[in-house]
């Protein structure tokens, strides 16, 4: 139903020009202070789109976001000590 999405962090030199990145994917966040853009795009066209974005004159560096690969299901490895301290 939904296609696989990949996130990228794009470091830019000009935020006004970075608004044009919207045509390459979904811009999720733009940092005015640190000059980066977080955007998501379809995984099947990601390599082609990244090559096109890298050619833009205001783009300094592109990093892939590993947020979807981080484990978000947590297990308790340490026993719960709160029950020993209850009244």
- b vs e for 42-70, b when ≥16 Cβ sit within 10 Å of the residue's Cβ? eeeebeebbeebeeeebbeebeeeeeeee
pLDDT computed for residue 84 by the predictor: 73
If you classify domain 5-68 with CATH, what class do you get?
Answer: alpha beta
Place of tokens 């996130």: 7
Ordered mean pLDDT values, 10 residues apiece, the chain (87 residues): 88 95 95 96 94 96 89 76 70
What are the boundaries of each domain within the chain? 5-68
pTM, full prediction = 0.78
- What residue spans of 19-86 are helical by DSSP H? 46-54
């Amino acid at each position: 139903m939904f296609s696989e999405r990949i996130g990228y962090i794009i470091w830019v030199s000009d935020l006004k020009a970075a608004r044009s990145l919207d045509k390459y994917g979904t811009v999720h966040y733009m940092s005015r202070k640190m000059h980066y853009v977080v955007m998501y795009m379809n995984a099947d066209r990601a390599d082609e789109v990244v090559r096109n974005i890298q050619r833009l004159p205001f783009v300094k560096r592109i990093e892939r976001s590993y947020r979807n690969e981080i484990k978000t299901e947590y297990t308790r490895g340490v026993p719960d000590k709160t029950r020993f301290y209850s009244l």
